[in-house]
A = this chain, B = another copy of it.
């Protein structure tokens, strides 16, 4: 791994502004990574992603292992070259997808036996293979194989999964050979503070260059998420980056940052965009509503994204009502630019020592439930576990 993988430049009442050094450039934190599970951030080119303001993306070992295959990507020069992305990149180990996407999954200490969600074929993933695959893909940050508990699992069951996660983390560390890549551990322990403490203690003892917090936002009430999150980050070393997996709603990012998180990823901004839910400072709006079909101004007149600079709300409404593919792309650009601007604002506020008031103002204005519940109820987008695609 490169020298000084991470450093904190400024803290503001728990929130941190820093920088992550990768073999593909410097990444300012707090950072949000758009999700490109299948080596593409849906509807967007690498140039679009850069223009929107991101220089680190996430891709998924599980998806790429199944299709086009690790060997194929490797023979084509690795994942950066394959998807024509020259910025920072993190790959998830596939552990979460094995549990959440596979129609069948059996965990033993040796590894996870699962079936492909594409063709039903049987596969076996071990900690060693997860590292080997991620080394072949070549991302800048790679993740240990972990076992993620479900909300509602007994403390005993969660503890068992946590302890296996610890043993797997050690095996990943031992298997890891590529010093250009930073291997992060994943703290588990569900909603049980004493397990989170044990997990953090155990894993920080192994001296990983970064720590992720897994097993949150998997269906538990939000106050519990935030409590466990706050408790867990306090247990992690201050000089290492902290990554909250699968969280990316604007209000959740803010709550993560104030609890000391540096790295986020989530498919939510692009997925809800494709369902017509667009971020504004006052909350999400549903562009499919008839009320928007004649509005002769951008979605958000203050937004500087390509979509808002070029098209009216009425045009976007027309594209969605006509099921035109361009609508999905324009909405994705808008939502990602909203998150990109949010991350910039958050970082500046931390650097200026004004993060607390920024957070207060943002959350007062941003209506989490605005036009959202109705869409959610329609089942237009998935919740909980599947937030981490």
Q: A29-65 interface mask toward B, CB cutoff 8 Å, 1 = contact, 0 = none?
A: 0000000001110111110000000000000000100
Give residues of chain A (203-258) contacting chain B, Cβ–Cβ below 8 Å: none
Q: Does A201 contact B (CB under 8 A)?
A: no
B314 and A42 contacting across the interface, CB-CB below 8 Å:
no
Q: A38-B322, A40-B324, A68-B321 are in contact. List 17 more A-B contacts (CB 8 A).
A: A38-B319, A38-B324, A40-B319, A40-B322, A42-B325, A42-B326, A43-B329, A45-B310, A45-B326, A67-B322, A68-B318, A75-B294, A76-B296, A76-B312, A77-B296, A83-B315, A325-B328
21 contacts between A and B (CB under 8 A): A39-B315, A40-B322, A40-B326, A43-B325, A43-B326, A44-B326, A45-B329, A46-B310, A67-B322, A68-B314, A68-B318, A68-B321, A72-B293, A76-B296, A76-B315, A82-B312, A82-B314, A82-B315, A84-B311, A325-B329, A329-B329
Question: Quick one: given A68-B293, A329-B329, are A314 and B76 in contact (CB under 8 Å)?
Answer: yes
* Chain B residues near A328 (CB-CB < 8 A): 325
Question: A85: shortest Cβ distance to chain B, in Å?
Answer: 10
Kindly state the separation between the CA atoms of A214 and B324 in the bound complex, as whole angstroms: 27
* Chain B residues near A326 (CB-CB < 8 A): 40, 42-45
Give residues of chain A (67-94) contacting chain B, Cβ–Cβ below 8 Å: 67-68, 72, 75-77, 82-84
Closest to A307 in B: B45
Kindly state the separation between the CA atoms of A318 and B306 in the bound complex, as whole angstroms: 28
Give the residue among A306, A326, A330 with the most B Cβ atoms within 10 A. Answer: A326
B76 and A294 contacting across the interface, CB-CB below 8 Å:
yes
Closest to A318 in B: B68
B43 and A314 contacting across the interface, CB-CB below 8 Å:
no
Give residues of chain A (292-318) contacting chain B, Cβ–Cβ below 8 Å: 293-294, 296, 306, 310-312, 314-315, 317-318
Question: A386: shortest Cβ distance to chain B, in Å?
Answer: 18
B67 and A321 contacting across the interface, CB-CB below 8 Å:
yes
Kindly state the separation between the CA atoms of A310 and B296 in the bound complex, as whole angstroms: 36
Question: A98: shortest Cβ distance to chain B, in Å?
Answer: 18
Kindly state the separation between the CA atoms of A311 and B72 in the bound complex, as whole angstroms: 15
Question: A230: shortest Cβ distance to chain B, in Å?
Answer: 37
Question: A74: shortest Cβ distance to chain B, in Å?
Answer: 11
* Chain B residues near A63 (CB-CB < 8 A): 322
Give the residue among A42, A44, A67, A324 with the most B Cβ atoms within 10 A. Answer: A324
* Chain B residues near A321 (CB-CB < 8 A): 67-68
* Chain B residues near A314 (CB-CB < 8 A): 68, 72, 76, 82
Which of B42, B75, B296 is within 8 Å of A324, CB to CB? B42
Give residues of chain A (353-387) contacting chain B, Cβ–Cβ below 8 Å: none
Closest to A81 in B: B312
Kindly state the separation between the CA atoms of A84 and B308 in the bound complex, as whole angstroms: 12
B45 and A318 contacting across the interface, CB-CB below 8 Å:
no
